[in-house]
Structure formats: structure tokens, C-alpha cells
Amino acid sequence: MRIRRCGSDAMLVEVDSLDEVDAVRAALAEADLPGLVELVPAARTVLAAFQPGSGGLARVKPLLDTIDLTKRVRTEPREVVIPVHYDGPDLDLVAETAGTDVDGVVALHTGAEYKVAFSGFAPGFGYLVGLPRELRQPRLENPRKRVEPGSVAIAGEFTGVYPTASPGGWRLIGRTDVTLFDSRREPAALLAPGDVVRFEAVR
Amino acid sequence: MRALTVLATGPLALIQDLGRPGNAHLGVPPSGALDQPSLRLANRLVGNPESAAGIETLLGGLSVRAEASCTVAVTGPQVSVSVSGRAAGSHHPVHLAAGDELVIGTPAAGLRCYVGVSGGVDVPEQLGSRATDVLSGIGPEPLRKGDVLPLGTPGLPVGVDEIAPARTPDDLVIPVVLGPREDWFTDPGTQIASGQWKVSPESNRVGVRLVGTALRRCERFQDVELASEGLVTGAIQVRPNGLPVIFLADHPTTGGYPVIGVIGSGSLPSLAQARPGVRVRFRPTA
């Protein structure tokens, strides 16, 4: 673990894996640190930003010294089920790459339990880990200029759902009617880091 | 109904308050007024809590009609203000009777003026804020001619306040704390202290882009990709061409280029007012 300064009121904790990111995020979230404004997990880091003068920043390092990064986090996560129409334009490509057929892809994608490792790229876009090995596939060589909102996709070790229309290079396997992000809704984002997610096939 | 009707917007007029910090883990930028001391002052002058929503204008040009009696104050850089043709001045409370038209001129220096109005602009909150975020599209649309802005319940104006207009120097020397990725750069303290930059016209609410000295990565980080990581407002991110961007309130929540340092939050208001061409240097601090 390495702690990096990030201005006078924040620090970036750098670790070696997504599991360690999860351990650090969960520990800092549970510690009820005074003045904590932002707690932002990413692929190999957790950013903790505090209100100036709150004294919270000084409490982070002693706390991190007590964390066992090898321990899986035991918390009561929120569980989210996302219904999916598996009819994405890259489904055949994904099946071929995985050495299976379309039903096989659906079985693999719905059979796994996922966890939101972090969010980014766009509001409400969660990077979900837990993808079966056969579905860990490269991005498209030519990213699409427009991916429809609700598109369910895979790339590398992640799966996710596009909350809004945007360009995108992930392989599209399906779509959901669920709204991933609505800034007028409470809560605005369907998925937050730490949530457990399952996908369910809609026929 | 207590409301303002927009008659002209100038280049860009946005509803802003103190933003929606605390949502970065969902991919939501903090947003909010770029020159927060100026918005807070405008609110105090009209008897609002400092967090009330007002209007952030870019290079003035805003004109509104009061649909009911209200108090307004224009802050930020010194700017001409008139009420139904009569000169009224900035940086103090001005009463508008129903039907009065407030016209804001173009500031001679600086970029962003703030209009506080008694009761605050009372559009619906999104994630706890009324601010317009130009990166993610959260919050109200930029103001357009004909918009009717509802106002909240007014409070009591204060009698005395700190009313000096924001200074808008042509030279900024900005304190910087090195990190989190200073080790990606050769001799980062010296490079950041000796470089010279100017504010690029490509700057916006997402960030101030700088042109000038290219910052050099050290040998072992040439062509290395950084996994995206969390960003704070004020982070100095260095693009592959070596040129820095200082992130402002509408910055993306994560980024994949190294951040060499983070500026002191006290310098954010002057960056919010820095026109293209303003000279920027950095001073590393402990």
C-alpha cells in the first residue's frame, strides 16, 4: 500500500488489486471519518477527500495501518437485480470468442454474482467485477460512436450497463429497461461501489 | 409569482449554487459556482443563505425582468449594472420593483459575474443542488431568453459586508502541493516552479487549459498508461503532450493521466476569473 498526497485536504491510497481497493474503501467508509466529503474507489486507488480543517485527513493513515488487505470485506451489501434482454449486436462475437453459443453466453452472464468495484466514465456507470473467465474479452477494435442507454456490455475483467447514450468500445450483449441514473430520482444512481449485482434474462 | 424572466443571456448564463460534492463515487462531478466567494457575497448582500442558487454569467450580457419586488446584487469583477435604464452599480444590494429590468454590462476584466436574488433561484434540486454541470448535463439547462426563474422565500438583507470586487490580475502565481503522481516527472518541483504558461481559450468550467512549458515525464514512465483514479478540484493533470490542465468544479470524477500537483483551494476563484492569455506560474509548497 502506498499513500500519495493529493493537495492539502485529500489523499490517494494506492494498492495492488481490486480486492484491496474494496478492502480500503470499505474500511474508510465504516470509520465515520470527520469531514469526509468524497470517497472514490478506482481500479488501483481510493481517493479520500476532506473538508479543509476537519482533521479527518490525519486519521486516515493510522486507520490504514490497521487494515488487513488480504481479508475479504464482510459487510451487508445492497443487492440489485437487473433484467436483461440478451439481444446485443456483439452477442455472436462474444459467443464465438468464449467458445460457446448465445445460450451459453446468457447462462454465463446470468450465472455469476457481480460487485460494483467503482464508478466513473459517466454518472451512474458502474464497473462490475466477477465476470466468468470466458467472458473476459477485449474491447471492440472500432468503438461505436453511439451506444444506447441501457446497453449491457463486457470489456476486460468488467461488465456494466451504459446509463446514458455515449460513445463506447465495450462488447454489447444485451439491454435493460431499468434506468441506471436519473438525477431527479432518489437515489439518483442505481449502482454504487460495493453493491452486489445479478443479471436476469428476460424472454 | 416571485420570478425573474430572462430577456438576454450574454455568452453563457448558468444557475449555480455551491454544487453537489459527495457524489464522486457515483461518477457525479461536484459542480457549483467557480468563484464561490463571489456567489456567497451576492447571496449575503440580498439576505440569502450563502448556499442559495444564483446566476453565473460569462462576460456579462445578462438581462432579466423582475415579475415581483425583489432585491438583487451583482458580484465578481467590477461591472456596469443598470435598472430600467438607471445606473445602479455592482457589489451592493439593488431593489427591483415589479417590471424593472436589470441589465449587466461586460466586465472590463475577469470572466464571471454572479447575480444573487432575494429568495434564491428556486428551480428543483438534482442530487441536492441546483447547479448546472456542463460535463455531465446534470442540473438546469443553460439559461435562454424567455426562461422564467421562480424565486424562493426572501430573508432579511444584512447591513454591512465585505464588498470589494474580485481582483483579476493578469499574472497568477499559484501555490501547489506536489502529488499524487509527481514521481512520474523528472525533477517535478523544479519543472513546476520554472515553467511558464498562459490560460488557453479552450478553458471552460471543466478545467483551465494551459499552454506553454511542456512537463517532461521521467524515462521509466514514458508511454506508460495510468489506470484511471479519483480527481480533486484543483488537480493539475498533465496530458501526453506535456501541457497541464487545472480541473475546476465540473471536472470528471476520475482521470487516466498523471496529476503532478494540486493547487491551493484559495486560488480557485482567481482561476475562475482568468481570461485567455493570463500568465500562470506555480509555486511549490510543502
Cβ A119–B139 below 8 Å, yes or no? no
With a cut of 70, say whether residue A74 has pLDDT above it: no
Pick left, alpha or beta for residue B54 (phi over 0 → left; psi -120 to 50 → alpha; otherwise beta).
beta
Asked if B171 and B59 count as a contact pair (C-beta separation under 8 A), the reply is: no
With a cut of 70, say whether residue A136 has pLDDT above it: yes
Q: Classify residue B276: in a domain, yes or no.
A: yes
Mean pLDDT on B43-68: 97
A185 at interface of B, judged by CB pairs closer than 8 A: no
Q: Classify residue B32: in a domain, yes or no.
A: yes
Residue of chain B whose Cα is closest to the Cα of A195: B26
Instruction: State the virtual CA torsion across A104, A106, A108, A111 in degrees, nearest 10.
Output: -130
Residue of chain B whose Cα is closest to the Cα of A43: B227
How many structural domains comprise chain B? 2
pLDDT tens, position by position, B197-234: 999 999 999 999 999 999 999 999 998 989 999 999 99
pLDDT tens, position by position, A43-52: 999 999 999 9
The pLDDT assigned to A70 comes to: 81
Best of B130, B181, B229 to mutate (most A CBs within 10 Å, chain A): B229
CA distance, residue B225 to nearest chain A CA (Å): 13
Task: Work out the number of other CB atoms within 10 angstroms of the CB of residue A178.
Answer: 14
Cβ B235–A121 below 8 Å, yes or no? no
Residue appearing with cell numbers 440580498: B46
Mean pLDDT on B237-248: 96
Residue B240 bridge partners (DSSP): none
Same domain? B120 vs B190: no
Same domain? B92 vs B228: no
Same domain? B205 vs B101: no
Same domain? B133 vs B220: no
Model confidence at A116, in pLDDT bands (50, 70, 90)? very high
Provide the mean pLDDT of chain B.
95
Within 8 A of A43 by CB-CB distance, chain B residues are 227-229
Cβ A123–B264 below 8 Å, yes or no? no
Q: Classify residue B166: in a domain, yes or no.
A: no
In angstroms, rounded to a whole number, what is the distance separating the alpha carbons of residues B215 and B77? 32
Q: Tell me the residue range of the domain where B125 lies.
A: 3-150
With a cut of 80, say whether residue A75 has pLDDT above it: no
Model confidence at B286, in pLDDT bands (50, 70, 90)? confident
Within 8 A of A12 by CB-CB distance, chain B residues are 179-180, 229-230
Model confidence at B169, in pLDDT bands (50, 70, 90)? confident
**Three-state secondary structure string covering chain B:** CCEEEEEEECCEEEEECCCCCCCHHHCCCCCCCCCHHHHHHHHHHCCCCCCCCEEEEECCCEEEEECCCEEEEEECCCCCEEECCEECCCCCCEEECCCCEEEECCCCCCCEEEEEECCCECCCCECCECCCCCCCCCCCCCCCCCCEEEECCCCCCCCCCCCCCCCCCCEEEEEEEECCCHHHECCHHHHHHHCCEEECCCCCCCEEEEEECCCCECHHHCCCCCCCEECCCCEEEECCCCCEEEECCCCCCEECCCEEEEECHHHHHHHHCCCCCCEEEEEEEC
Q: What is the CATH number of the domain that holds B279?
A: 2.40.100.10
Same domain? B134 vs B8: yes
Asked if A22 and A70 count as a contact pair (C-beta separation under 8 A), the reply is: no
The pLDDT assigned to B158 comes to: 65
The residue out of B101, B120, B150 marking a domain boundary is B150
The pLDDT assigned to B159 comes to: 62
Same domain? B180 vs B123: no
Same domain? B74 vs B122: yes
The residue out of B83, B118, B150 marking a domain boundary is B150
Grid cell in block for residue B108: 472590463
In angstroms, rounded to a whole number, what is the distance separating the alpha carbons of residues A175 and B124? 30
Pick left, alpha or beta for residue B214 (phi over 0 → left; psi -120 to 50 → alpha; otherwise beta).
beta
Same domain? B243 vs B144: no
The pLDDT assigned to B167 comes to: 77
Tell me what percent of the residues of chain B surpass a pLDDT of 70: 98
Same domain? B113 vs B237: no
Asked if B65 and B4 count as a contact pair (C-beta separation under 8 A), the reply is: yes
Q: Classify residue B63: in a domain, yes or no.
A: yes
Q: Classify residue B242: in a domain, yes or no.
A: yes
The pLDDT assigned to B157 comes to: 67
A165 at interface of B, judged by CB pairs closer than 8 A: no
Q: pTM here?
A: 0.94
Provide the mean pLDDT of chain A.
94
pLDDT tens, position by position, B119-130: 999 999 999 999
**Contacts of residue A193, Cβ cutoff 8 Å, sequence gap at least 6:** A25, A41, A116, A117, A118, A119, A126, B25
Mean pLDDT on A31-36: 94
Tell me what percent of the residues of chain A surpass a pLDDT of 90: 88
With a cut of 80, say whether residue B162 has pLDDT above it: no
Mean pLDDT on A160-176: 95
Same domain? B103 vs B187: no
With a cut of 80, say whether residue B160 has pLDDT above it: no
Cβ B230–A12 below 8 Å, yes or no? yes
Q: Classify residue B12: in a domain, yes or no.
A: yes
Same domain? B111 vs B18: yes
The residue out of B150, B185, B213 marking a domain boundary is B150
B128 at interface of A, judged by CB pairs closer than 8 A: no
- Interface pTM (ipTM) of the complex? 0.94
Nearest to B27 among A14, A122, A184 (CB): A122
Nearest to A121 among B27, B179, B227 (CB): B27
**Contacts of residue A57, Cβ cutoff 8 Å, sequence gap at least 6:** A9, A10, A11, A35, A48, A50
Q: Classify residue B93: in a domain, yes or no.
A: yes
Same domain? B101 vs B138: yes
Q: Classify residue B181: in a domain, yes or no.
A: yes
From A24-33, A90-99, B276-285, the region with the lowest mean pLDDT: A24-33
